[in-house]
Amino acid sequence: MKKHVAALMVLFAAASWSMLFAGPEDDRMAFEKYFTSKFPETPKHDFINGIYSIDPPSREQWLEIEEFPPYELSIDAGRSAWEKPFANGKGYADCFGDGAVRGQYPYWDSGRKEIITMELAINECREANGEEPLKYGKGKLADISAYMSFMSRGQKINVIIPEDDPDALAAYERGKQFYYSKRGQLNFACIDCHGSGSGNLVRADRLSPALGHVSHWPVYRSKWGNMGTLHRRFGGCNRQVRAASFKPQSPQYRELELFLTYMSNGLEYNGPGARK
């Protein structure tokens, strides 16, 4: 009898442990399944096209736009900047080879105990070579990022949370908590609009599913009239629910990027992109 109780207790503990601490991979599989079941018409690989993966009418317009992509100028500007040597004679290539490195970011740096995004790495490359860091969010940095993303098209999203580093898991968990927490005067969580709300109409606009949200940055957005990074978009989505936004490349947004990118592991990078 005692033995049975003990065995049961062990079993119960194990079950509740795994329920409480579903790992990132369990999270990702459930996340992916949620969206592929919610939008059975959409092939999994197509979620990288955001709202256009679930809304045929707007997809038509977008395909037309893609014939003369509005982000092309930005890729060109990025290429010129890439080819122009720094004052010390070196260049971006000394940091990033041919620039096709999108698939390596974001990653957890166990030595530094922080998340390194591609935009952060671009500025660190500049500073290591005696150049001023660029302003995050848009402008020149977005151009370099557009060029590198273009060079990296087709690479797989593959974020790794090192299992032997509890700090990495903690950073991932904070990003996850951010995504699922309501904030702002209007009291919305990201998941309210891009999970349960995805596909719904807000006035004339449909809400895009979160799966694939990170694949195509930086983006030329008609509403902005220029290029913006993923963190610029995070800021916009925070402010539209009347929450104060965080700075691009703040720890909060890097954690959010880590979590959200992990959720899209296995999909392809297809940046830069164009959106309404």
Return the active site residues. Answer: 237
* Nearest distance, CB of residue 270 and ligand HEC, angstroms: 11
Give the residue, chosen from 24, 31, 35, 51, that forms a contact with ligand HEC under the rule CB under 6 A. Answer: 51
Single-letter residue type at 109: D
Single-letter residue type at 168: A
Burial of 127 (0-12, 13-18, 19+ CB in 10 A): exposed
Alpha-carbon span 43 to 161, nearest angstrom: 27
Quick one: what does residue 208 bind among another protein, ligand HEC, none, with the CB cut-off 5 to 8 Å set by partner type?
Answer: ligand HEC
Q: What is the largest CA-CA distance in the chain?
A: 78
User: What SS3 class is residue 221?
Assistant: strand
Residues 146, 102 contacting (CB under 8 angstroms): no
User: If binding is defined by CB under 8 A, does position 24 make contact with another protein?
Assistant: no
Binding mask 11-50 for ligand HEC (x = CB under 6 A): ---------------------------------------x
For another protein, the binding residues in 57-86 under the rule CB under 8 A are: none
Nearer to another protein, 61 or 200 (CB): 200
User: If binding is defined by CB under 6 A, does position 53 make contact with ligand HEC?
Assistant: no
Report how many residues bind another protein under the rule CB under 8 A: 38
Quick one: what does residue 201 bind among ligand HEC, another protein, none, with the CB cut-off 5 to 8 Å set by partner type?
Answer: another protein
Q: What is the DSSP letter of 55?
A: -
Nearer to ligand HEC, 53 or 82 (CB): 53
Single-letter residue type at 165: D
Binding mask 142-171 for another protein (x = CB under 8 A): ------------------------------
Quick one: what does residue 275 bind among another protein, ligand HEC, none, with the CB cut-off 5 to 8 Å set by partner type?
Answer: ligand HEC
Give the residue, chosen from 44, 140, 153, 183, that forms a contact with another protein under the rule CB under 8 A. Answer: 183
The phi, psi pair for 143, rounded to 5°, reads -65, -50
Give the residue, chosen from 127, 181, 222, 266, that forms a contact with another protein under the rule CB under 8 A. Answer: 181
Alpha-carbon span 73 to 58, nearest angstrom: 23
Alpha-carbon span 130 to 88, nearest angstrom: 7
CA atoms in the 13 A half-sphere facing the CB of 148: 27
Question: How far is C-alpha 199 from the geometric centre of its chain's CA atoms?
Answer: 20
Residues that bind another protein in the complex, under the rule CB under 8 A: 22, 26-27, 30-31, 34, 176-178, 180-189, 191-193, 195-197, 200-204, 238-239, 242-246, 252
